[in-house]
Amino acid sequence: MSGPPAPVPAPVPVRSTGSLSRRMIGIAALWISVLLLGGGIALDRVLTSAITRNFDDGMNYVLTAMIAAAEIGPEGEVLFNRQLADQRFLEPGSGIYYQISAKGHEDWRSRSLWDRALRVDTAHADRNSHVYDSKQFPGEPLRVMERTVILPGSDVRWTFMVAQARSGVDDQIKALRATLIKSFALLALGLIILAALQTVYGLRPLRKVRRAIVRMRSGMESRVTEPMPSEVLPMVEELNALLAHNERQAEEARTHAGNLAHALKTPLTVIMNAATAQSPDLNETVIREATTMRRQVDHHLARARAVGRRGAAQSRADVWPSLQAVERAVRRLYPDARVDMDGDKGAVVRVERQDLDELLGNLIENAAKYGGGSVFATVARDGDMVEILVEDDGLGIPEADRTRIFDRGARLDSGKPGTGLGLAIVRDVAEIYGGTVALDESEDLGGLMVRLRLPAA
């Protein structure tokens, strides 16, 4: 009576790390914002400095014109030999002013100052033009430029001052900053939208792969066949290769199951017929056929184990330690046999260690069992393969029988115990891993030489 069916394993939950699209768009938006903010601040400083410098150049021009037109009057006062061109100096509160001051002399001020005066710091003298901001007039921030000059015919230090309301330059700077903010905000928005479109379009192939996988799971397709970009194509090729690998494993499993069922069918039929007929040699029949069934089961189990482990990407085994382990085991089974080894001690193959032990164990045990007592194993690297030669000093195998000896249950020497599966298992397991096995004659020992080739790791 069969037991309950094995429960279907639940899908392994995969933890999400968030949306890749949102992450890419967020990083792009942050980087765009940082770059535009830094660029905007730098551009604001450059343009603000240019506007202010141009404003100062205008005041410096007026200050230079004042000094050029100034002369000492008969009473030691300062006079202009020509009027300044800017008529705003004549309009009270016009926003542009001048003043000429000296210690011990009355200030000479423009009419635009009316009843106000510019604050003069007589503690220092500026031979070159000196510009600064001032808030001495309530509600009217000023930009002031001053210079100390000694006019011809006088030894008095006169301080020439030009002041202009900052409202004009501040309005220009404010308009400039408003334009910069709007322009850079619009540019940032456009770049972020572009990054979003680029991300959505760039990740579109991944959504196509997902839809293809959904169709494969529903049985509508067996492979991802849509054209893909070169960056996604390797992943799709690996996915198709994995699907093909799984299909091969499933087909091999079905084949093994069918072969095993077919192999067991005949012995079971013989046993049932003998039991039904109450054959007097029923015991011998059962033992004989059970031995046959056991041999078949061992063979197919060995293949199934190798097929199940073949897909492991980390499959690798060191050849030399495996040879040493097998040599110690064979020496205990056959104390009279001598096993010598030589070759590349660092060779590594893409085979599970358990399967490599089984391959080498079958070959070296057969050489010790059927040889004359001497076994020689050689390991060498041959391109992308590792070649292992196992030689003995026995009678060898005739060339006509070297193909038949790989058949399941084939034995040339029935006088010694065995199942006749050793070389068949070696061939099947080696082929599962992409290797080969061949028989030849040993030139050094005169017996059989088995040439086992396995993929190098």
Instruction: Count Cβ atoms below 10 Å from residue 81 Cβ, excluding itself.
Output: 8
User: What confidence score (pLDDT) does residue 425 get?
Assistant: 78
Instruction: Please name which of 151, 127, 129 lies closest in space to residue 78, comparing C-alpha atoms.
Output: 151
- Average pLDDT for the chain: 82
User: What confidence score (pLDDT) does residue 416 get?
Assistant: 43
Q: Please tell me which of 178-192, 214-228, 253-267, 277-291 the model is most confident about, judged by mean pLDDT.
A: 178-192
Cβ-based neighbours of 146, under 8 Å, separated by 6 or more: 63, 120, 126, 129, 130, 131, 159, 160, 161, 162
Q: Which residues of 164-177 are buried (b: 16+ CB within 10 A; e: fewer)?
A: bbbeebeebbeebe
User: What confidence score (pLDDT) does residue 415 get?
Assistant: 41
**Across 193-197, 297-301, 453-457, least confident range:** 297-301
Span 193-209, mean pLDDT? 87
> CA 405, CA 216: separation in Å to the nearest integer?
43
121, pLDDT greater than 80: no
User: What confidence score (pLDDT) does residue 11 get?
Assistant: 59
Cα three-residue angle 302-305-308, rounded to 5 degrees: 150
Residues in the chain: 457
Cα three-residue angle 103-107-111, rounded to 5 degrees: 165
170: which 2 tokens?
Answer: 């501040």
**Across 85-99, 150-164, 182-196, 243-257, least confident range:** 243-257
User: What confidence score (pLDDT) does residue 310 get?
Assistant: 53
User: What confidence score (pLDDT) does residue 409 get?
Assistant: 44
417, pLDDT greater than 60: no
Cβ-based neighbours of 307, under 8 Å, separated by 6 or more: 249, 252, 253, 256, 432
Span 394-410, mean pLDDT? 69
**Across 96-100, 241-245, 285-289, least confident range:** 285-289
User: What confidence score (pLDDT) does residue 299 get?
Assistant: 63
User: What confidence score (pLDDT) does residue 30 get?
Assistant: 93
Q: What three-state secondary structure class fits 79?
A: strand
Phi, psi angle pair for 316, to nearest 5°: -165, 145
Quick check: pTM over 0.75? no
Quick one: pLDDT band at residue 256, thresholds 50, 70, 90? low
**Across 45-49, 79-83, 151-155, 404-408, least confident range:** 404-408
**Inter-helix orientation angle 282-310/233-276, to 10°:** 180
> CA 338, CA 317: separation in Å to the nearest integer?
24
